[in-house]
Amino acid sequence: MAQQTNGLTTSLTRGGQLNSTGDARALYLKLFSGEMFKGFQNNTIARDLVMKRTLKSGKSLQFIYTGRTKAEYHTPGNAILGNDDGAPPVAEKTITCDDLLISSAFVYELDEVLSHYDLRSEISRKIGYALAEKYDRLIFRAVAKGARQASPITKTSFVEPGGTQIQVGSGTGALSDAYDSAKLVAAFYDAAAALDEKGVSQEGRCGVLNPRQYNALIQEVGSNGLVNRDAQGAALQGGNGVVEIAGIKIFKSMNIPFMGNYGVKYGVSGGPVDPGNTGSFIGSDTELEDGGGVTGMNNNYGEQAAFDTTCGLIFQREAAGVVEAIGPQVQVTSGDISVVYQGDVMLGRLAMGADFLNPACAVELYATNTAPSAFGTTYPGNAS
């Protein structure tokens, strides 16, 4: 851009312009977009651990189940027209997209001018975190839901395997059992055997625990001979000592349903000591209760009470599915809107829905004497 100064023509370099033409702030939007996606990707793990499909031109997506069939001997002279039992049986599962999920912030232009740090970059990361948190929580609830279900295949004489629930420890200590490394290891081996017995593929098996459970396992590396005893030294001290148990890769997350909370539960007998100043995001998960008809939820994600004894998830990727009508996207106001309000609205959005697919691929860990009850498969639903 040329500018007259004391009769001389000077050229201004506008760092936000694309090839020195057009909107002087065009490239600044790319910074926000990149930071939002980085924040989302760094804080979501469930998206890549389950079946993900893109939804186009519709409100829901159909998944097909195919049951097993059998081998039988041929009688000489008989025509071969398929098994006499009509196998394999087929059923369907439909996952509906929830309403648009958004996280936004208004950035006042003067605040940007006065701030000594990149205000937009910081806000964009937090928007990504918010979307990723909700995304993971919904998927993990869907996995727990599937672990309590029978198979959708209901053809006579063809009973397909359903979900698995495994008690951690004796159930007398409840929370203390959930953090006992030896009991967790035993539960993982039990889960691996159950998945094998139900014909679940070994590819894509994973377990998700809360950080304190994960760290409890790491502390036993090299001493109990059960958890990746080859990981020592820097790997152990770096918090990466636990790789897998019984072929199940382990992840940690604060977004799994855990004893009616998310990730951790403080202040009860047998539980961890509250470190203090934990923030409001740790606590009851009532925000996702859908039995009362929460606006925007078109799938049944259960009630808080449905997860009061849940203490971990183990699953194979076919346990749950997520459909995305709109993947993580960025929108930022500009032009006349920015002039009128002297600032911009920064918006991150996505439209997705999640539910269980193959219950045989889902295992729920619980730490009481009674397994959590199944809840409905249609919306709205209430915990049984």
Q: Where are the domains of the chain?
A: 23-66+88-366
Q: Which CATH class is domain 23-66+88-366?
A: alpha beta
DSSP code, position 192: H
Q: How confident is the model at residue 357 (pLDDT cuts 50, 70, 90)?
A: very high
pLDDT (0 to 100) of residue 314: 98
Query: What is the crossing angle of helices 26-43 and 119-147, to 10°?
Result: 30
Q: What is the CA radius of gyration of the chain?
A: 26
pLDDT (0 to 100) of residue 265: 85
Q: Model-level pTM greater than 0.85?
A: no
- Range in 118-132, 226-240, 253-267, 313-327 the model is least confident about: 226-240
For residue 376, give both structure tokens: 């409905």
For the segment 57-113, what is each residue's pLDDT rounded down to a tens digit? 778 888 877 777 778 888 898 888 777 777 777 778 888 899 999 988 888 787 766
> Has residue 184 got a pLDDT over 50?
yes
> Has residue 255 got a pLDDT over 60?
yes
**3-state SS, residue 202:** coil
> Has residue 42 got a pLDDT over 80?
no
Q: How confident is the model at residue 16 (pLDDT cuts 50, 70, 90)?
A: low
- The string of DSSP codes covering 77-138 is T----S-TT-PSPEEEEEEEPPPPEEEEEEEEHHHHHH-SS-HHHHHHHHHHHHHHHHHHHH
Over residues 13-24, the mean pLDDT reads 63
CA-wise closest residue to 54 among 342, 282, 290, 328: 328
For residue 94, give both structure tokens: 């439909």
For the chain, list the strands marked E by DSSP.
Answer: 2-5, 8-11, 51-54, 60-66, 90-96, 101-108, 164-167, 205-209, 244-245, 248-252, 257-258, 261-262, 310-316, 320-332, 343-356, 362-366
Output the average pLDDT for the chain. 79
Percent of the chain with pLDDT over 90: 27
**3-state SS, residue 11:** strand
349 strand-pairing partners: 102, 329
For the segment 137-177, what is each residue's pLDDT rounded down to a tens digit? 999 999 999 999 998 887 777 788 999 999 997 767 678 88
Sequence-distant (6+) residues with CB within 8 A of 342 are: 108, 109, 110
For the segment 112-128, what is each residue's pLDDT rounded down to a tens digit? 666 655 777 788 888 88
How far, in whole angstroms, is CA 372 from its chain's centroid? Answer: 20
**3-state SS, residue 355:** strand
CA-wise closest residue to 380 among 288, 296, 298: 298
> Has residue 226 got a pLDDT over 70?
no
CA-wise closest residue to 308 among 357, 345, 261, 364: 261
Q: How confident is the model at residue 291 (pLDDT cuts 50, 70, 90)?
A: very low
- Range in 181-185, 229-233, 307-311 the model is least confident about: 229-233
Percent of the chain with pLDDT over 70: 76
Do 349 and 43 touch, CB atoms closer than 8 A? no
Q: How confident is the model at residue 215 (pLDDT cuts 50, 70, 90)?
A: confident
